[in-house]
Amino acid sequence: MDNTALLLFITATFVLAGFVKGVIGLGLPTIAVGILGVVMAPAQAAALLVIPNLVTNGWQIANGPSLKPILRRLWPMLLTICLGTWAGAGLLQQTKGGAATLWLGLALIAYGLVGLKAAKLRVPAGWEAWLGPVVGCSTGVVTAATGVFVLPAVPYLQALGFDKDELVQALGLSFIVSTLALSFGLFGAGALTLTVGWQSALALLPALAGMAAGQFVRNRISPAAFKLCFFAGLLALGGYLCWRGLT
């Protein structure tokens, strides 16, 4: 693939990933790492995603209803996301096969099917104090191994009973913390350099364009339609990851 074709491929990838994120509040790293894995190593793809992840999730947080109560509720999970990611530092660079991607995809498919069947997962209030840190640490390890930070954080956040806009804001908060934690590991491993940082900044423009289009769609659909899009999106992302893991 020549430089022009590679540039167009990367641009289209970030537009698509940004659009999905704009609609359902997640999917930027899942789609981008999976598609970019065709032309580059997972660690390189994850490094290219740092700036788009930080900015799009910052935008997602800023457009939410109220950050303080969500932060007060989620801080134990956010702290252990960092600890889990740093504990698993180096796993992404060591990943050779697609086993981690395959299992991640299967888990997303299972969760998407449960959601589409209208099964209501709920976390009892008394469980949050201990379950939040467990979920955070597990999400951190998965992030360190795959560069994707959807599990088990996304099902956990969805089970906390947030409304549509609160859920999207909580997802953005979780993802920006995961991005920052992963960035330290990539920097220490030499995958995130000044040159890669500049390339990551350039990737921001198509990601923002796609996200703006996705948010336009999300702001015009009902909570029921959003829920359908959310779980169908998880199902599609899971299917895509399984395909990537098997090829």
Q: Which two tokens stand for residue 80?
A: 């252990």
Cα separation values, 114 from 3, 15, 28, 80, 162, Å: 43, 29, 22, 26, 18
What is the distance between the alpha carbons of residues 74 and 67, in angstroms, rounded to a whole number? 10
Name the band, by pLDDT with cuts 50, 70 and 90, for residue 75.
very high
Model confidence pLDDT, tens digit, residues 170-200: 999 999 999 999 888 888 777 778 888 898 9
Mean pLDDT of the region 214-237: 84
Model confidence pLDDT, tens digit, residues 2-22: 778 889 999 999 999 999 888
Give residues with Cβ within 8 angstroms of 59, minimum separation 6.
Answer: 172, 208, 211
Mean pLDDT of the region 51-66: 90
pTM: 0.82
> HEC states along the chain?
CCHHHHHHHHHHHHHHHHHHHHHHCCCHHHHHHHHHCCCCCHHHHHHHCHHHHHHHHHHHHHCCCCHHHHHHHHHHHHHHHHHHHHHCCCHHHHCCCCHHHHHHHHHHHHHHHHHHCCCCCCCCHHHHHHHHHHHHHHHHHHHHHHCCCCCCHHHHHHCCCCCHHHHHHHHHHHHHHHHHHHHHHHHHCCCCCHHHHHHHHHCHHHHHHHHHHHHHHHCCCCHHHHHHHHHHHHHHHHHHHHHHHHC
Q: In this prediction, what percent of the chain has a pLDDT beyond 70? A: 94
Q: In this prediction, what percent of the chain has a pLDDT beyond 90? A: 36
Lowest mean pLDDT among 13-17, 115-119, 231-235: 115-119
Q: Which two tokens stand for residue 105?
A: 């995809």
User: Which of these, 201, 203, 200, 204, lies nearest to 191 by C-alpha position?
Assistant: 200
Query: Is residue 122's pLDDT more than 60?
Result: yes
For residues 178 and 81, the answer to whether their CB atoms sit within 8 Å is yes
